[in-house]
Amino acid sequence: MYICICKGITDSQIREAVCSGASSLRSVRQQLGAMTQCGKCAAQTRQLVNETISEI
């Protein structure tokens, strides 16, 4: 499922980034480019990052 439409980033990519060491929202943004355009994906990305961190 697409989380960031602007950059075409999926939930799987975000989970993968977190599992590969992107341990914060900022790291995910820097690594994938999510939230760098309209910003509408920020809340969903934050939730997904927090969920993934709590699972690992």
Give the footprint of ligand FES on this chain (CB under 6 A). 4-7, 34-41
Nearer to ligand FES, 40 or 50 (CB): 40
- Asked if residue 7 lies in contact with residue 34, where contact means CB atoms within 8 angstroms, the answer is yes
Cα–Cα distance between 56 and 51 in angstroms, integer?
9
Q: Nearest distance from residue 10's CB to ligand FES, in Å? A: 12
Cα–Cα distance between 47 and 6 in angstroms, integer?
18
Q: Nearest distance from residue 45's CB to ligand FES, in Å? A: 7
Nearer to ligand FES, 19 or 38 (CB): 38
